[in-house]
Amino acid sequence: MLRVSSPVTSPPCPRCATVRPSEDARFCSRCGQRFDESDPADPLLGSVLLGRYRVTLKLGEGSMGRVYLGEQRVGEGVRRVAIKVLSAVRGNDEYIVQRFRREATTLASLEHPNIVRLFDYGEEGGRFVSVMEFVPGESLATRLLRGRLEPGLVLDLATQMSSALEAAHKLGIVHRDLKPENVLLSPGDPTPLLKVVDFGIARRPPAHAHEKPLTSVGTVLGTPAFMCPEQLRGHPVDARADVYALGLLTYLMLAGTLPWTARTLAEWTDAHLNLPPLPLRRQPGCETMSPAIEAALAHALEKDSSRRTASAMAFITELRGEGAAEVAASGVPVASIATVSPTTAPVTPRMHSRYATSPTSPRRRVLPWVIGIAAVGLVGGFAMVSLVLHRGTLLGHGSALRDGAPATAAASPAAPTVLPASPMEDPVARSSSANQASARAAVREGLSRVHAQQLDAAIEALQRARMPSVLTAAEVDPLRQAVDDLGTAKMRRLLRAPNCRQALALLVRLHRVGAAEGSQARLDRSQCARH
């Protein structure tokens, strides 16, 4: 009698519940999450931290430390948590440790459905540990790889973001680093549940009279693509800095791109300080957008904070069209909002001397979905640099920050620049936009090819997506890791044969597109390594 054994089923993706296609698959083809990351050299896997949180899976790793999926037994049930552990090297840096502690203190004071919750914090065996809410889903950055969002969904997400920010602002807390990677989307019905994460560089009132500020006057913290003018100048900021970033995020969700094209620190500084944003209705696909939406965005992106939308909820009121009359009554034409005013004359930013000599170093193996999973701003958080700004890559516009020429004046301080009604088209900007659209289409095509197990076509799509200075590493990483995953599965089959010649040829192809990590590791442990 034949005995038919039932097929062994692997656990689905812990984030989006997609079925794991095979035991060889390391990454989910839909959201990029690792199915499993068993590392026998990692002493924390399987251990219990703070006496009650069992570490089950490593979610990601970066320069600041590691983030794990953990379990906490609660009564008869088990709750999944995200555990952030500061690396031993960073744990010796008192400034980093203070930031880590203050993020925990800040989160502990915030209770809101759209802000990630802190469950626990402690120090154990020289390790600094934060235990936070695990948010299944994806980051807004990952979602935007699939294209711009519908206006109705944008309004809902912007409302959730505004509600979270308003709750923080009422306590005197300013996020200062609101960006797509720090916004998580958890599946919901009918719309996703949004969570704001990473309060690592948030400004908050001192917890006690003797607490010293960690940010000195003139220090710039944040991500240049989403920083308001006063933040770039190193001036003190308030809730209106977050409103500016909220306006940019809303613009990005509606248009699929930011209102400026910039790559270097100098270009971003010039854009935020001096250049008017491209009106939303001049973006492809946004021609029929409501004038109220465009007016709300222009008001939120006002360069002079005294003229900017005063609060996050006021922004939503205007976005819904309920505040259009008030904006119109102010006498400021929509076309002139968010341009250079007499009080915000163009300036030449002072660059930190280390910036010109220090090459940028993107975070090693920080996957874009890692930011989403841990719901803590996690690995790359604490976007802190003194006038060097953020050293990571910028969403949607070019490669990692590089030093550039000082910002140039875009207008005379005596006469505010008003965007002409019919400006001449910039062929460079048009080309950049076209290249970005083509590269993003290649990312989508490549992920589809990976899902269909078509490695050769996926490698070709990845090659097109990696055009220099078009997309950031964060935008291409989901495809790169998926190709790495599929390539590793094929490498495993070739090494079993063994077919060393084909294995080496495959490795060369994967190296050319930066997706050879898994395949290289397997080949190094095989007999083909001697060839």
**Residues facing 294 on adjacent strands:** none
CA distances from 260 to 70, 212, 315 (A): 41, 37, 21
Query: Positive or negative CA dihedral for 153, 33, 199, 118?
Result: positive
Neighbouring C-beta atoms of residue 32, cutoff 10 Å: 27
| Distance, CA of 182 to CA of 177 (rounded, Å) | 8
Neighbouring C-beta atoms of residue 217, cutoff 10 Å: 8
Give the SS3 label for residue 511: helix
| Distance, CA of 360 to CA of 264 (rounded, Å) | 11
Q: Give 465's Cβ-side CA count (13 Å radius).
A: 29
Q: Residue 61 is encoded by which pair of tokens?
A: 């790793």
Q: Residue 28 is encoded by which pair of tokens?
A: 């989910």
φ/ψ (deg, to 5) at 443:
-60, -45
| Distance, CA of 48 to CA of 329 (rounded, Å) | 60
> Among this protein's residues, is 36 annotated catalytic?
no
- Read off the amino acid at residue 43: P
| Distance, CA of 221 to CA of 219 (rounded, Å) | 7
Q: Are 225 and 269 in contact (CB under 8 A)?
A: no
Candidates 120, 177, 198, 304; catalytic one: 177
φ/ψ (deg, to 5) at 69:
-90, 135
- Read off the amino acid at residue 492: R
CA distance between the termini of the chain = 46
Neighbouring C-beta atoms of residue 285, cutoff 10 Å: 11
Q: What is the DSSP letter of 376?
A: S
Q: Where does residue 219 rank: exposed (0-12), middle (13-18), buried (19+ CB within 10 A)?
A: middle
Q: Point out the residues that are catalytic.
A: 177
